Amino acid sequence: MLVTGVSRRAGIGFAIARRLLADGHRIVVHSWSAHDAEQPWGSDDLAAVLAELGDPPHVASDLADSLAPARVVREARSLAGPLDALVANHARSSSGGLAEVTAAELDRSFAVNTRATVLLVQAFAAQHRGATGEGAVVLMTSGQHRGAMPGELAYVLSKGAVQQVTATLAAELAGQGIGVVCVNPGPVDTGYADDATRAAVAARFPTGRWTAPHDTADIVAWLTGPAAMALTGTTIDAEHGFRR
């Protein structure tokens, strides 16, 4: 299995990787810490991230490079053998509404969040061709199809496109026995929110608490098995009752 976007111990990718490893899967993790370094939350110590996971095989690559997705899949296969699942968890975060968004940010968000995801799926499917077992692809969106997200236009556009392409990718890959499912985890507490935002968002959950990364990891782990084909082409809104 290949899991992208594993660069912070507070992140969803880390929780997914930890859960899959606990379930006995052999995984390769991808990261690009330079993105985190540009964000308000900052980067984590990548060596410590990998050490806490037991130092699994790792590929670092900037998915803004159009050649990177195929290279990441190729390197992952060389490190772990044929891949039976892809979890495209990586994301470029971006703020800015209609008045602030730039062509450059639209292009970069699209390159990382949308183009790279499709090219990862393309490369994964190519290496899976001829495999005897079923395969699984889990994509990640962020709830843009359920309500407005003002102030994040480039992110909304690029991640919403992932949700929209899910059914088409599923139809194209069904003949190979590859299930494609998209997960919308809703707001997840990965350490990016300030205290006021955390309290306001928590109040919109019936439980009074944010979704935690391990909650999302449980869903993703389930979807890397037979559930992927049973639910192929669908988006799972695993938002824990979040009220928009």
Residues marked as catalytic: 155
Helices and strands in the chain: count of H runs, count of E runs: 10, 7
- Cα three-residue angle 190-34-144, rounded to 5 degrees: 45
181: β partners? 138
C-beta of residue 3 within 8 angstroms of C-beta of residue 18? no
- Could you tell me whether strands 85-88 and 2-3 are parallel, antiparallel, or unpaired per DSSP bridges? parallel
Closest CA to 162 of 70, 235, 237: 235
Q: Where are the alpha helices (DSSP H) in 11-115?
A: 12-22, 33-37, 46-52, 68-80, 103-109
C-beta of residue 170 within 8 angstroms of C-beta of residue 180? yes
- Could you tell me whether strands 28-31 and 85-88 are parallel, antiparallel, or unpaired per DSSP bridges? unpaired
CA separation, residue 220 to residues 52, 112, 127, 179 (Å): 20, 21, 21, 13
Cα–Cα distance for residue pair 210/196, rounded to 1 Å = 13
C-beta of residue 7 within 8 angstroms of C-beta of residue 62? no
Closest CA to 185 of 154, 120, 139: 139
CA dihedral 158, 59, 137, 185 (to 10 degrees): -60
